[in-house]
Amino acid sequence: MKHLPIVWSIAGSDSGGGAGIQADIKAIHGLGCHPCTAITAVTAQNTVGVQKVAALEPADVRAQLESLAADLPPAAIKIGMVPNRAIAEEIRNAIGEFDCPVVLDPVLVSSSGARLCEDPGGEPAWMLAPHADVVCPNLQEAQALLSREIRGSGAIEQAAHDLVERGCRAVIIKGGHGDGALCQDYLHDGSRGLWISNTRLDTRNTHGTGCTQSSALAAAMAQGIARLDDAAVVARMFVNAAIRESSNVGEGPGPVRASGWPEASADLPWVTETAAAANKRPVFPPPGYAPIGLYPCVETADWVARLAELGVTTIQLRNKSLEGDALRAQVKAAVETARRCNVRLFVNDYWKLAIEHGAYGVHLGQEDIGNADIERIAEAGLRLGVSTHCHAEVARAHALRPSYIACGPIWETKVKAMAFPPQGVESLALWRRTLAGYPLVAIGGIDAPRAYEVSRAGADGVALIRAITQADDYRAATRELVKQVERGRLDAG
């Protein structure tokens, strides 16, 4: 029997069903977790406004939290509306017993303008902030917490920095209340910042977006997504899908509609270091009309001719041992051989040499993106491939609009130490749906039978190293791999 991670929502009740614990329950359930609630306040509200707010007695909040703690310990906690300091004190005492992620959404004012916290400066939120792993205000809430106006991307970055300086471990300033063509969240984890952007959806049905996003963030963490940027991208995808699927209910802004695990390509955000970069995304040409197919990674130029004779049309030169003139000579020879043999040659990491010698493309790992001049690579007319291992890295690659995106490791690999566990074929199939607009390359622990599996799951390219270069008979191994990749492609339909 499947075990569902438990997520607590400590928040107010929305009688209209659009925000508060009602939104939290739908989001937590939608991401495969079991929601538990501790209600802090009851609101009389509908789609056009809030008519009454009634905070519960602190003892009643304490009773709910004690009941949950006795039987349903959390894998993550989301805190929303906290109407006063006394209730904040009860929450602070309760959550200290558990070693799990805590997401604080400092709900101070409703979307219709009604005050939901007795302290306009957000003192209850400040009491809880040091105990939360991440604090997620919208723009108006960030202004209230800092008692100043925040305008423009630079001011948002400074605000997040100041919130961290004042005791928050990490901050996500949500961009739903901003303006402009993009909806942009800014994440600051205490050491670095990044922007998570989607195209802003043209709808008035946005009731409950903040609650939905913060609950999705907590649920993603409860599901074991440890990296904050990774969980934030999942939450951003989830709320974007919920807005797309929103409904017209009542006379005012309707509620968003939370569904299952987000996988639509339309909801995938892109991650950039600056807000401006989100509007200046490059576009790389596709890898060619023919499928990428079997995609061997080789160390030396002589492998290019050997594999071309066996029908391989895409090869990556991946050499981690040479440098200087010796490396330059290998790149030059590999490019010349690839051109003569009509092979698409991608050079791993060494983008300057790839440009210098006219390679077909460049492949970059996540650690290399920041050191590469992406604009120069695009201007040179080269293709670009990018390695990814999680949602945050996929979103970072998406910002570059590369020629293909590689996902892995699909299985355990010993080529290098991996910070990520094997994803498996099911995750690859999910990436195929999410990355519908990109050629998808599978990598990590692939042999001939597995080459068939990933090809059948939708991989356009099958990257591997040892299965060919360390085979007893590389010719036979290559022919079998080419056969299995093609068979998988045909069986996939």
Residue 129 has pLDDT above 70, yes or no: yes
Catalytic residue among 117, 136, 168, 211: 211
Nearest residue to 401 via CA among 294, 276, 271: 271
- pLDDT of 232-277, one tens digit each? 999 999 999 999 999 899 999 999 998 899 999 999 999 999 999 9
Averaged pLDDT score across all residues of the chain: 95
Across residues 79-90, what is the average pLDDT? Answer: 97
Question: What are the φ/ψ torsions at residue 393 (nearest 5 degrees)?
Answer: -70, -35
103 bridge partner residues? 78, 134
- With a cut of 90, say whether residue 303 has pLDDT above it: yes
- Residue of 17, 210, 445, 458 marked catalytic: 210
Q: Give me the CATH code for the 6-279 domain, please.
A: 3.40.1190.20
Q: Residue 147: its pLDDT value, please? A: 94
The amino acid at 234:
V
pLDDT of residue 201: 94
Q: Are 10 and 77 in contact (CB under 8 A)?
A: yes
417 has a pLDDT exceeding 70:
no
Confidence (pLDDT) at 112: 66
- The sign of the torsion formed by the CA atoms of 71, 74, 80, 83 equals positive
Q: What is the mean pLDDT of residues 51-68?
A: 97
pLDDT at 122 (0 to 100): 86
pLDDT tens, position by position, 143-158: 999 999 999 999 999 9
pLDDT band at 416 (very low <50, low <70, confident <90, very high): low
Q: pLDDT above 90 covers what percent of the chain?
A: 90
The pLDDT of residue 1:
65
- Under the banding of pLDDT at 50, 70 and 90, the label for residue 488 is very high
**Is 174 annotated as catalytic?**
yes
pLDDT at 235: 98
User: How many residues are present in the chain?
Assistant: 493
Average pLDDT over residues 287-298: 95
CA–CA separation, 31 vs 265, rounded Å? Answer: 17
- Range with lowest mean pLDDT among 322-326, 340-344, 355-359, 399-403: 322-326
| Residue range 474-487, pLDDT digits in tens | 999 999 999 999 99
CB atoms within 10 A of CB 468: 21
Per CATH, the number for 293-492 is: 3.20.20.70
- What is the sign of the dihedral through the CA atoms of 249, 254, 259 and 262? positive
Which of 20, 47, 168, 174 is labelled catalytic? 174
Is residue 168 among the annotated active site residues? Answer: no
* DSSP SS3 for 214: helix
Asked if pLDDT for residue 2 goes beyond 90, the answer is no
37, 40, 47, 206: which is the annotated catalytic residue? 206
pLDDT beyond 90 at 215: yes
Sign of CA dihedral 309, 310, 312, 318: negative
Backbone angles phi, psi at 154, to 5 degrees: -65, -40
Per-residue pLDDT, 121: 74
Residue 109 is predicted with a pLDDT of 78
pLDDT of residue 493: 73
Looking at 209, 212, 337, 388, which residue is catalytic? 209
Mean per-residue pLDDT, 339-354: 98
211 is catalytic: yes
pLDDT of 119 above 90? no
Is 52 designated active site? no
pLDDT at residue 93 is higher than 90: yes
**Given this model, what pLDDT does residue 397 score?**
98
Domain(s) labelled CATH 3.20.20.70 in the chain stretch across: 293-492
Higher per-residue pLDDT: 125 or 121: 125
pLDDT over threshold 80, residue 138: yes
206 among known catalytic residues: yes
Would you state the pLDDT for residue 117?
A: 79
Q: Residue 3 — pLDDT band, cuts 50, 70, 90?
A: confident
What's the maximum distance between 2 C-alpha atoms anywhere in the chain?
Answer: 79
**73-112 core/surface letters (b: 16 or more CB in 10 A; e: else):** ebbbbbbbbbbbbbbbbbbbebbeeeebbbbbbbbbbbbe
Residue 352 is among the residues annotated as catalytic for this protein: no
| Mean pLDDT (whole number) for 270-287 | 97
Q: Which part of the chain is CATH 3.40.1190.20?
A: 6-279
